[in-house]
Amino acid sequence: MRTYLITGILMLTMVSAQIDTIKFDDGSFKMNQLNFGDHYYLVFMQKEADGPKSNFTIWKRSLRREKMDGKNYIHLDWAMDFGDPTKLVKENIYVDANTFRPQFETHLMRGMRGAGESRSSIRWQRNHVFSESDTLKHNSRQFDTELDPQTFNWQLDMETFSMLPYKLGKKFAINFYHPGSSVMPKYYVYTVSGEEKIDFAGREIDCWLISYDYDEKSHSTWWVDKKTFQVMKLYETSPYGIRYKIKIAADFFKSL
C-alpha cells in the first residue's frame, strides 16, 4: 500500500512540474482565441502600493487581419498616448497569419527623453532578426541577432498570452525576444498560478492568473479573461516600483 502511495505522489509531482513548450508549428497554442479589434489599456507606475501614481499612458492596440503582396498577416497597430502632443510612439508589427511567426515591423518615436525622431525598420527570418540598412527607414542602432530557434516577439506578449491552453497549475515555456534588446532570446516559464474574479465596466470577469518571477525582486502577474482570453490586467513589481496595465472598455472612448 505504501509503495502505491509513494508512486502516486511521485506521478502527481511529475504532472504538476511538467512544462509545455510553446512552439509555432505543433498546435501548442490556439490562434482562434485571438481577439481582433481595438483594445485600450491604462499604463502607470507607483513607487509603492500606497504611493502616488505617475507616468500615465494610454495604449491603443488594434489587431487586424491583412493581406499584402499575396500573403496573409496579422497586424498589430500599437499607439501610445502620453497626454503630450510633442511625444509619440507608434509601432506596426506583422506576424504570419497561420503560424504567428514574426515577419517585419516598424517603429516611430518622437520627443522621448528629449530626443528627436527615431525610426526603426526590422525584419525577422527563421535564423535571425535584423535592422534594415536604409537609414531613411532605420536611423536607430543597427543590430543583427541570431535566433536558434526563432522566437516569439515579446512586443506581442499580450496577444501570445491570449492563445495559451489554460489549466490551473500548468506551466508554459515561451521563447521571447524583444528585437534589438541586449537581453538575448531565452525561454521564460509562466505558471497558471490561480483564478480570480475582477470587476470590469460593471461586470464580473472570471480570470486566469498567469505569473512569472524574473528574479527575487521582480515579479509579474497577468489576469486573462477565461471567456474571451483577453488580458485584463498586469501587476508587475521591480526595484523601480510597481507597474500596472489595466484594460479600459472601448465603449468609453467611443462615447467621448
Which residues are CB-contacts of 195 (< 8 A; sequence separation ≥ 6)? 168, 206, 207, 208, 209, 226
- pLDDT per position as a tens digit, 118-137: 999 999 998 999 999 999 99
H/E segment holding residue 162:
helix 157-162
Close Cβ partners of 125 (under 8 Å, ≥ 6 residues apart): 147, 150
Q: What does the chain come to in residues?
A: 256
Q: Omega of the bond prior to 149 within 30 degrees of 0, cis?
A: yes
Model confidence pLDDT, tens digit, residues 70-123? 999 999 999 999 999 999 999 999 999 999 999 999 999 999 877 789 999 999
pLDDT recorded at residue 143? 97
Residue whose cell numbers read 489595466: 246
Amino acid letter at 212? Y
Q: Which residues of the chain have pLDDT under 70?
A: 1-17, 253-256
- Cell numbers found for residue 42: 491604462
Please provide the DSSP assignment of 193-217 as one string: EEEEEEEETTEEEEEEEEEEEEETT
User: Considering the entire predicted model, what is its pTM?
Assistant: 0.90
CA distance 211 to 161: 11
Q: Is-contact 113 55, C-beta < 8 A?
A: no
Residue-level pLDDT at 17: 59
Cross-strand bridge partners of residue 16: none
